Structure 1
Amino acid sequence: MTSVQGTAVDVPTEDGVADAYLVHPGDGGPHPGVLLFMDAFGIRPHLRSMADRLASAGYTVLLPNVFHRHGRTPVFDLPEFIDPAARPEIWQQISPVMRSLTPDLAMRDAGAYLRWMADSPLVADGPVALTGYCMGARLALRTAGAYPDRVAAAAGFHGGQLATDAPDSPHLAAGNITAELYFGHADDDPSMPPEQMKILEDALTAAGVRHRCEVYPGARHGYTQADTAAYQKEGAERHWAVLLDLLERTF
């Protein structure tokens, strides 16, 4: 593990500026890029620490505020420990903001994040990898399909609504994807039931996408997030192992 350097950056998009956290190995040289898509709670100390851990393994990591249209970080006033069951009003704040980030807007932004990384002297030339959590897993899947030339690998953890009957369901991007994909599903996740898991698996297989989908036993939606009530240490550590393995193979 190497020492890392993190800083706040602003990423210009077609709809204004997205604030972001950028972290990279302390040598200041170019390293393979990883675009980290946040969960719905947004950029906060825990997500920055996850980005730091990735960077310490030798990557330049960009963590953008995908809700930038609603203000700079922090978009929501969150407790240090997030338990939506104890604080249901948290979702009353977050849900409308999530819904306002349409697939079209999200992919327009993803293009801006990828362009910014391509222009950064801290990011090595060539395609980047993606990792996403909860709603970020949807963003990773969509981005891999929307920008196949820029994405070499993508991982999603405890993603919800990845394969619905909606006309713009994320799984419908499968035919455009050239990256290797990994999904770590929570087995206790109403937003990603077994029937959706099967639709996603079948779509990726039919499209010839290199992929692996696994169900994490006893894990709840959000199992990687140590500052939430959904955290499961076993699942979180397994996620680190498979993610770092995917990145090592990719780069």
Structure 2
Amino acid sequence: MPAKTVQIPTPDGLADAYAAFPDDGERHPGVLMYADGFGIRPVLRAMARELAGHGYCVLVPNPFYRHGTAPLVELPEHIGEEDRPAVMARVMPLIEAHTVERVRRDADAYLGFLTSRPEVRTGPVAVTGYCIGGLWAVRTAAAHPGRVAAVASFHGPVGVDGPGPLAGLTARVHFAHAESDLSPEALGELNQALDAAGVDYTSEIYPGTVHGFTMSDTDAFDSAGLQRHWDSLLALLDGALVDG
């Protein structure tokens, strides 16, 4: 599977990113993948390659490039609960500095770079994200209704911006929530906002999961949740980008 680190010109400098492509020499739909707050690391590279193996060109940017190239925070091979407080203390200032305006400005550069690649098929792309990356995915899709045909968020705080950005979504949507992140009542309120906005969506709680369930290098990992994630994500992407 062809994969490499690339440099993306942005208004604020060069953003490093990880790119993975199918190896058949054909052009394929593009997918912008936002990592969780822990950033680009082996598990994210493996997920990008897995998605590329299903026929998609995947770009995973380092959203914190203004502070340096990835990895900015030294991570243990497995991020256990005992490691989380110290890691989060270093990660949270980076997340807090990544404002809505920065997300939107960077998204212009990321999407422009992705769609200009010779490996990427002409047409709309998809955006997916994990944890805070899920929120960035929604912000990206809302800001680029003509360029993003599908958006997915897994255990992401997608409702924190209120109903306004949701109303700007024209992409097909899949929101997967951890059972520990969202109550059934909060899910109902979110889905009512999506209904009111006329969004084509699925939004559901994955039973038995906790925040971060897709990440195999953390204590939150749930293998059944990860497989459900792949099933849902591939169905979304195939429907929006392949079958039309």
TM-score by length of 2: 0.95
Residue 22 of structure 1, aligned match among 11, 19, 24:
19
- TM-score normalized by structure 1? 0.92
What aligned pairs does 1:85-164 form with structure 2 within 5 A after superposition? 85-160=82-157, 162-164=158-160
| Residue 52 (1) aligns with residue 44 (2) | no
- Which residue of the partner structure matches residue 182 of structure 1? 174
Which secondary structure does the structure 2 equivalent of 1:153 belong to?
Answer: strand
Distance in 2 (alpha carbons) for counterparts of 1:117 and 1:67: 18
Deviations 1:46-87 (A, max 9, x none): 000000000000010000001111110111100000124344
Q: Provide structure 2 residue ranges, at least 5 long, that are not aligned to the other structure.
A: none
Alignment RMSD: 1.3
> Aligned equivalents of 1:236 and 1:196: distance in 2?
23
Amino acid at match of 1:214: E
Instruction: Tell me how far apart the structure 2 counterparts of residues 171 and 62 of structure 1 sit (CA, whole Å).
Output: 28
Give the count of matched residue pairs: 241
Query: Which residue number corresponds to residue 234 of structure 1?
Result: 224
Unaligned runs of 5+ in 1: none
Alignment-derived partner of residue 204 in structure 2 = 214
SS in 1 for 2:48: helix
Shift of 1:213: 0.5
Q: Deviation per CA, 1:11-34: give whole Å up to 9, x if none.
A: 111111110011001123311001
Consecutive aligned runs of 4 or more in structure 1 exceeding 2 Å deviation: 84-87, 192-200
1:142 and 1:170 in contact (8 A); partners too? no
- Measured at CA, do residues 87 and 39 of structure 1 come closer, stay the same or move farther in structure 2, by a change above 3 Å? closer
- SS, match of residue 88 in structure 1: helix
For 1:13, the equivalent position in structure 2 comes to 10
Q: 1:94 to 1:234 in 2, by over 3 A?
A: same
Q: Is residue 74 of structure 1 aligned with residue 85 of structure 2?
A: no
